[in-house]
Amino acid sequence: MARTTRIRDDFDVEVSRSALGYNLPQRLGRALWLPMLAMALMAFPAGAILGAVRANAIATGGSEKAIAALGQFTPAVNFLGFAAVFAAVSFAIARILGTFRVGGGQVQEAAGAEVHTLRMPNTGKVFIAVMGMAMMTLLGAVVLHAIIGASIAGDSAYALANAPQWSFWLEGARRIGIALYLLAIAFGLATIVTVLRYQAVRIRELPQGAASRPEAGRLPS
């Protein structure tokens, strides 16, 4: 439990007796960065292998159907890799923010001062929202590539005839998904800048912590 009344003009903080724990995005970040990285490290070589198989089919006069289907599966796998690696980057940033939140609180607690923990800045909220949009855009494109590829492999003449058109549109979706992911990462890093500024200010207040120390029973722990 923490007091949420606004007590400072410069930063919006939560006040508590002891260090706060990780929030939900930070817990997710700590749990998911490694599985996402592992998925990315599997997807990129798989995409390169599919690309090589398709190149061989083109060079040896393979069937149009196989070449077109692989032309959908290859970007599907590669961009699954990009979705995973950008998610891993985002989770690693959330993990760093969690370290600042918990570690900063522990230092204040050790100093005997009341613990002021920065509430999630707006850039942090934008980071999460844009990351979600980017992930959905990329995964949507990956799923559609897989569906079109499977339809071509399943002898759909419609899918084969319209594959070039869908490839343009899905390429556009993939590109904007990547741009949004990069934007989200910029916002996540900007949040770290805000946290660093706050911590540089807060630690200088700690020696006067006795003056701001809560009266007994005033603050929830």
Partner 1 sequence: MASADALLLRPAPGADHRTKSRLRELGLGTAFVGVVVAMVALVATVVAGAWSDQPGRAVDVARLDAWSFGLNTAAFGVVKLSIGIVLLAILRRLWLRVESVRETLPALKGGSSEPAPIRPGTIDTPYGSATVSADVPKPLLIHRMARAMWAPSLAMGFMAVAGGLVLSIVQASKVASDPGLAADLSAWVKGIQFLGEGFLLAGVSFLLGSILYSLRTGGGEVQRSAGVAVHTLKFPTTAKAFVALMMVGLMVEVFQFVVYLATTSFEPASAASYFAWLGPVREAGLGLILSGIVLALVTIGNVLGFQFSRITEIVRTGR
Provide the minimum distance between the beta carbon of 24 and partner 1 in the complex, in angstroms, as a whole number.
Answer: 17
Distance between CA atoms of residues 141 and 145, nearest Å: 6
Stretch of 87-95, 114-122, 141-149, 210-218 contacting partner 1, by CB under 8 A? 87-95
Restricting to residues 174-193, name those near partner 1 by CB under 8 A. Answer: 175-176, 178-180, 182-183, 185-187, 189-190, 192-193
In angstroms, the CA 159 to CA 144 distance is 11
* Residue 133 makes contact with partner 1 by CB under 8 A: no
Query: Judged by CB under 8 A, which of 2, 15, 93, 128 binds partner 1?
Result: 93
Run of H or E including 13:
strand 13-16
Cα–Cα distance for residue pair 208/211, rounded to 1 Å: 6
- Using an 8 Å Cβ cutoff, are 130 and 58 in contact? no
| In the complex, least distance from residue 28 CB atom to partner 1, rounded to whole angstroms | 14
The footprint of partner 1 on residues 12-71 (CB under 8 A) is: 33, 36-37, 40-41, 43-45, 47-48, 50-52, 54-56, 58-59
The angle formed by the CA atoms of residues 124, 204 and 105, to the nearest 5 degrees, is: 50
Quick one: 174 exposed, middle or buried, by C-beta within 10 A (0-12, 13-18, 19+)?
A: buried
Binding mask 192-211 for partner 1 (x = CB under 8 A): xxx-xx-xxx-xx-xx----
By CB under 8 A, residue 78 contacts partner 1: yes
Residue among 125, 98, 121 nearest 11 (CA): 121
Which is closer to partner 1, CB of 15 or CB of 75? 75
When asked if residue 149 is in the footprint of partner 1 (CB under 8 A), the reply is no
Kindly state whether residue 127 participates in binding partner 1, applying the rule CB under 8 A. no
